[in-house]
Amino acid sequence: MICNYCEWRCDLGEGRPGVCQMYIQRGDRIEERHPHHYTTYAAVHIESVPFFHAYPGSRSLQIGSRGCNFDCHYCSNAYVAKSLPDEVYTFHLSPERIVDVARKTGCHNIVFAVNEPIVSFQSLMELADKAKAAGLPLGCMTNGYMTEEAADALAESCAFVNVSLKGFSQEFYARCTGIPDFEPVLRNIGKLTAKTHVEVTTPIIQDVNDQDIMPIAEFLASVNANIPWHVFRLLPEYKMKDEAYPSIELINDKLEEARRLLPYIYFSNFVGSTWVSTYCPSCGEKVIERLNLGGCGGKMIDFRLDGANRCLNCQSQIPIQGRYVKWNSGDEGHELCGA
Amino acid sequence: MNYAVLDVREWDITIDLERGTPITGEIPGPEKRRLQLARRLIKDHPYPGDFALESMEWVTDGALRLWKAYDPTFMFISYAQPQILGGVVDMTTADWRRLIDRQFQNVDRFLAESGFTPIIIGLGDLVPIEGYVDLSSWDSYVRKPDRLYAGLYGLEDEDDFSRLTNTPGVERLISKEDFIANFGAGKDFARRLPDYLVIAKEGHTFKTMGGSPRMGLKTVARNWRIPVYTPLDDAIQSIVDVNEVVLRNAGKERIALIVLDGIGIEDFQGPHELCANNFHWYTYSQGDDSYLALGTGKHFQFNDYPPGWLSFVEDPEDKRCPHDGYITRLVPDSIGSVLRKQGISSGAVGSRSTFTHLASGADICVECCCCDLYNYGTKAVIYTT
Ligand SMILES: [Zn+2]
């Protein structure tokens, strides 16, 4: 039987494991091998995932399973994404239990990050139902290499999605991630953007894919110029440990050009980055201030938009999914955090 | 104002340590000189990474550079590699012996070149992980880097209590009320203490919300006593005595407090005494508990951060010291801050990231900027208060 979750479309017949090794054929069904098993759950700032234009200020219950359908040579989460079963610890957490934990720890939403959600898609969809019933928005980080059917289901279930667009050439994708064709990733960015809130992330490896900065910016602008684009300075990890450290000035010079096409470009994954705040494209005012504390994304330290997400200075609308909430607003009355 | 310089190779930025934001205004003269010195030092001396053996030489070379450039009277030097590598890398006994030899060669080299009078303390052994205690079905939390202790919330049922107490790997459970009644506690510590603390048996570690997915090979031992060496006449009977011995002698001679993570009685080389590493049943776990005990001379419950504390709750937009993880204020009575008031200069270099500047409070601190073992760069902290 063919697995139709991602574009590898693996034939799982006769006990074959498939690329991600997370599904198995049982009778006439494709099933997860380890449903509802997670390697991590923690309360984090949504900006650290990163989402900069969705539910600003909120506390997210970040969850992740294990496994991936890519083999990125620079993976910083290889110990989870590419792990053997005995290398990471997994928890069994039912969808009900995840919702319960989110509520008890004052989380405003749930986000599947750390590894690729498409490898745990059935669990994710079940969780989506429970989260929806509980009024908790669900989001995820994905590499976008899913089938159209899966993308539709994901858009339906997730209020916010961050798609990793790792480069803009087939040669790069083949060499650095192992997939034969990256066209489905582009297609899915368009598909998801039409139906839900999308942010895009691109890890930049100097001299490997920094020439893709303008082509990616042009592509995103053609989909929707309001897409927030997170550019990561990639630390050499995993199979690329010995590559040189990327130059921040050089990459930022290239991003300056791209900022003419996309007003919301962020440059992070290095501690102290000063390119993680949001500026009003109309008047230039700093409207959301963030710090980078190391790692991707950031932490919000000031929010200066009105209740309808308009610039306080010039009233221009800043595209944001959901409303600003205070970090501790979910704590009230909950047994763990409610003081 | 207190400052930090964050250096990520080829790029750096100076920030206000407590607000986390970039410095825009002019920096006063004496502070500026120290900042420039620190900035240059870390620019030329990037941290190799938690998994690199050379990070031991990075500490030694950095300490020697800082000593030559700043000439502090007190130095705080900490080496984390034995604990980090010993915990996650599969090593033969011979590899481990070589690592320990290399560690002590580094200590000897620093002392031989600088002539400081040492206090060398090993924070404890590592033991193989025998099992995990999965608390995910309970409302529970592990605050990194805790491994021996977890927090438990809302446990009411008597059956639950006995079921948990009888879980393999659990040594005991203690309620917040009992803890405070028996041990006392500082105000913030008491407020943050979970409803129950769960204590692991040696060789066990907790898996639940907030913890790391990594499995690891070894974890910190429950050491009641740890090795300490100093040629000074003062007796060090407990981990909390070190601070006072430093303060008593720092005005008289140049003292270096050298902290070795992951090294206990098993591996300590050279002459040493043993000192207490516990408070009743609580054994220090080579985390902020050990570091703050050294830095302030106070037992863990009088520093601010209990195990199992839901630290994320106290991380709103305006949290102080945003670059210092869950730490909510600079340690007010650290060694360096006390010495500074007496006009005694201090410096620190360490590979245990923020613990270096938090515990030492030294005028100039140089440390790695790491989180979950990722190497984000090199940090310098300049205290003025
Ligand atoms: Zn404006």
Q: B110 and B145 share a domain? A: no
Helix, strand and coil in chain A, % to nearest 5? 30, 25, 45
Q: B212 and B249 share a domain? A: no
Residue B348 lies in a domain: yes
Q: Is residue A24 helix, strand or coil? A: strand
- Mean pLDDT, residues A37-42: 96
Report the DSSP pairing between strands B131-134 and B225-229: unpaired
Residue A238 has pLDDT above 90, yes or no: no
- Mean pLDDT, residues A24-31: 94
Residues making up chain A, counted from first to last: 339
The pLDDT tens digits for B82-108 are 999 999 899 999 999 999 999 999 999
Q: Which of the listed residues B218, B241, B257 is the one where a domain comes to its end?
A: B218
The pLDDT tens digits for B19-40 are 999 998 899 888 999 999 999 9
How far apart are alpha carbons A308 and A311 in whole angstroms? 9
B275 beta partners? B226
CA distance B250 to chain A (A): 34
Q: B255 and B236 share a domain? A: yes
The overall average pLDDT reported for chain B is 95
Q: Which of B12, B139, B318 sits opposite A336 (nearest CB)?
A: B139
Question: Both tokens of residue B226?
Answer: 């740890």
B375 in contact with A, Cβ within 8 Å? yes
* Domains detected in chain A: 34-271 (3.20.20.70)
Q: How far is CA B335 from CA B24, B189, B250, in A?
A: 30, 20, 10
Mark which residues 231-290 of B lie under 8 Å from A by CB. Answer: none
Q: Which of the listed residues B218, B244, B268 is the one where a domain comes to its end?
A: B218
Structural domains counted in chain B: 2
Q: B104 and B136 share a domain? A: no
Q: How far is CA B281 from CA A29, B192, B201, in A?
A: 53, 20, 11
DSSP codes of every residue in A190-242: HHHHHHSEEEEEEEE-TTTTGGGHHHHHHHHHHHHTT--EEEEEPP--GGGTT
Q: B258 and B372 share a domain? A: yes
Q: B247 and B212 share a domain? A: no
Q: Is B214 in Cβ contact with A331 (below 8 Å)?
A: no
How many angstroms is it from B164 CA to the middle of ligand 1? 56
Residue A244 has pLDDT above 60, yes or no: yes
**Whole-complex ipTM:** 0.96
Closest-approach residue (CA) in chain A for B308: A336
Whole-prediction pTM? 0.96
The pLDDT tens digits for A46-86 are 999 999 999 999 999 999 999 998 887 766 666 666 665 56
Residue A330 has pLDDT above 50, yes or no: yes
Q: Which of B13, B154, B318 sits opposite A301 (nearest CB)?
A: B318
Residue B308 lies in a domain: no
The pLDDT tens digits for B302-313 are 999 999 999 999
How far apart are alpha carbons B335 and B337 in whole angstroms? 6
B75: closest CA among B260, B345, B287?
B345
The pLDDT tens digits for A249-280 are 989 999 999 999 999 999 999 999 999 999 99
Q: How far is CA B253 from CA A115, B236, B245, B341, B347, in A?
A: 53, 18, 12, 17, 15
Q: B22 and B145 share a domain? A: no
The pLDDT tens digits for B314-352 are 999 999 999 999 999 999 999 999 999 999 999 999 999
Q: B243 and B99 share a domain? A: yes
B225: pLDDT confidence band, cut at 50, 70 and 90? very high
Q: B146 and B291 share a domain? A: no
The overall average pLDDT reported for chain A is 92
How far apart are alpha carbons A118 and A140 in whole angstroms? 10
Q: What is the pLDDT of residue A240?
A: 56
Count, in order, helices (H) and strands (E) of chain A.
8, 15
Q: Is the four-CA dihedral B88, B90, B93, B98 of positive or negative sign?
A: negative
How far apart are alpha carbons B72 and B340 in whole angstroms? 11
How far apart are alpha carbons A68 and B122 in whole angstroms? 41
Burial class of A165 by CB neighbour count within 10 A (0 to 12, 13 to 18, 19+)? buried
How far apart are alpha carbons A191 and A168 in whole angstroms? 18
Q: What is the pLDDT of residue A339?
A: 42
Q: B163 and B58 share a domain? A: no
Residue B163's domain spans which residues? 129-218
Q: B202 and B245 share a domain? A: no
Q: B235 and B140 share a domain? A: no
Please state, as a whole number, how many other Cβ atoms lie within 10 Å of the Cβ of residue B177: 11
Which chain B residues are closer than 8 Å to A104 by Cβ? Answer: 139, 153
Question: Both tokens of residue A137?
Answer: 């928005």
Q: What is the pLDDT of residue B372?
A: 73
Q: Which of the listed residues B218, B251, B282 is the one where a domain comes to its end?
A: B218
